[in-house]
Structure 1
Amino acid sequence: MGHREDLLEGAKRCLLEKGFARTTARDIVKESGTNLASIGYHYGSKDALLAQAYISLIEGMSDAFAEPADDGTGAAPGSLERFREVWSNVIATMREPGSLWRLSAEIAVMGDQLPEVRDHLAQAQREGSRGFVALLMGGREEDVPEDVVDSLGSFYTVLMTGLITLWTFDPKTAPDADQLTEGLRQVIEAATRS
């Protein structure tokens, strides 16, 4: 592995241990076995490196959200059952000690303090919205139209952000997948009444 990769891996470990605000460039250098100049050379700044490390951590979570089996045992795309399965998988990751989602809450609150990082993360969030649509509704991410990303993808992202907040603030009262699914069922029922 070269310095670029070493820095990224060190930054990921620092983020999970210390969070965004408390991680220093020296922490990353110590954790990665590199030098301070490498951060600027490869990433431009410590904050840009931390943003890339955060995105890499989020991308690594995709296995936890894996699409239900396509062998007939998984729920149909777009169904309430698929909704429950996917959100159950997401919530399971929030229960884990040292959850990445606590870091997500910290970064969301810091957004206005890090304008150059915010733009980078906003694009990653948009792609995450696209991924949620494909995961819940079926199909390939690259086939999800922009207007669907803007509507349905945004809906799922808002749900995810709310879950992160609730699970970070008070996990004992945060909803589980069954409660979310029942809430969605009630919304659908109310919207389809004649």
Structure 2
Amino acid sequence: MTAVPAVHYLRPARCPCCDAAGRPVDGPLRMRGHGLRERQVYGPLQAGGAPQLVTVHARRYRCSACGAIVVVVPRGLLPRRRYTASAIGWVLARVGLDGATTPTVRAEVCSCAIVGVAAAERWLAPSRWIEASRRGQLFPRLGRHGAESTRVQIAERTAMQLVALSPRGDAGERAPHLAFRGAALAA
């Protein structure tokens, strides 16, 4: 996440908007490099590690066919989310499977030392993530969850789906560690 690969390594094969080939065999490039954009993301780099704030350089490409701008980010980042997918998976597993409170989990994934008065008692980001998961927008390949389910049930189900996606490690490894790795693959 800290190294910036060359433009040709990350060039999209197709434009997601018009489906034009990014690098046609018999023609000029359609997906051209369009600079870099910095993006700050929160979360530990390892399961159970110290929370960090990392600046990621995302490559931008412009489609010459339709003019769309495409941003290519490292695996493990979700669109329009401040936290890494792994950090979100960790939070959902801790809340849904371990029954941890949101202020406790916030201290595990957020590197901010200063929080507001309301944030000391309740952290709202997990509620947003759970609602996005209910609609199938957080990790789209996991699907939707039933409208009758509670937030804790949705967090639990999403975490278990992320655990199932995770490559297996040690036999005694805890579910939040597996959800952390599975979320990076589901992003």
Decide: shared fold, TM above 0.5.
no
- TM-score tier after normalising by the smaller chain length: under 0.3
What is the TM-score normalised by the length of structure 2?
0.26
Instruction: Kindly indicate which of the two structures has a greater share of residues assigned to helix.
Output: 1
Higher strand proportion (structure 1 or 2): 2
TM-score under structure 1 normalisation? 0.25
